[in-house]
Amino acid sequence: MGNSALFILLVLISLLVLAFILKAFRRSQKEDLTVSDQARHQHFKRSIEEVQRQQREEQAAVILSEESSIGGVIYTKRGFGKKVKIGVDEAVEQVRRAFKVEGFQILSDADIMTILHKKEMLKYHMLIAYHEELGGRAIDMEPSIGLLTCNAVIRQDLSDVVHVEFSDPFLQMGATNDPELQGVASNLKRKLLRVLQAF
């Protein structure tokens, strides 16, 4: 009787040990799976970041090639432009025509000298344009982005040199990592560069 009780006790202990080993094995498999899922997620995230980086580099390369084909592009704190060899009024007309060719609608067209009633002020003209397709896409993606307008300033400096300048769409976008929004900004900037190419 004593031997059979001891035998049953040993069997029960063996079963408990086996159950504990199985549970530990399942837990380690689950942890391996979780680690594997995390690794897969990290790999996928790195892949997306790599594609986005590549897209940004390609967009920058296209913009750089368009800039170099124009020549004389000058960057400011808020945008880019160039000095032109025509008068302010003629430059305003050329920007209006080029905006129309590139699919922009002019929302506002203002002679700042007249608005401010400053006769002694150097000529300063401002156009605010909107590209319906690209601006609409940006709003669909991020409603708080506003109209994503493209501002043009045509001004005369103290040396009577005329400047045609545009706001940079990338600055309006702010720091976004959204590749679609970056694509919209790239397309807008390329269109603005083509407007600048009219000079």
Q: Where are the domains of the chain?
A: 1-70, 74-196
Instruction: Indicate the DSSP class of residue 144.
Output: G
CATH for 74-196, options being 3.30.310.70, 3.20.20.70, 3.40.190.10, 3.40.640.10: 3.30.310.70
pLDDT at 47 (0 to 100): 57
Mean pLDDT, the chain cut into blocks of 10 residues (199 residues total): 65 70 71 60 58 56 56 81 93 94 91 78 89 80 71 91 90 71 84 87
Using the Cα atoms of residue 26, residue 28, residue 30 and residue 33 in order, give the sign of their dihedral: negative
pLDDT at 78 (0 to 100): 82
Alpha carbons 44 and 55: distance in angstroms, whole number: 17
154 and 131 Cβ atoms separated by less than 8 Å:
no
155-181 burial, b at 16+ Cβ within 10 Å, e below that, comes to bbeeeeebbbbbbbbbebbeeeeebeb
pTM: 0.63
pLDDT at 11 (0 to 100): 63
Coil, strand or helix at 161: coil
pLDDT in tens, 28-63: 666 655 655 665 656 555 655 565 566 555 555 555
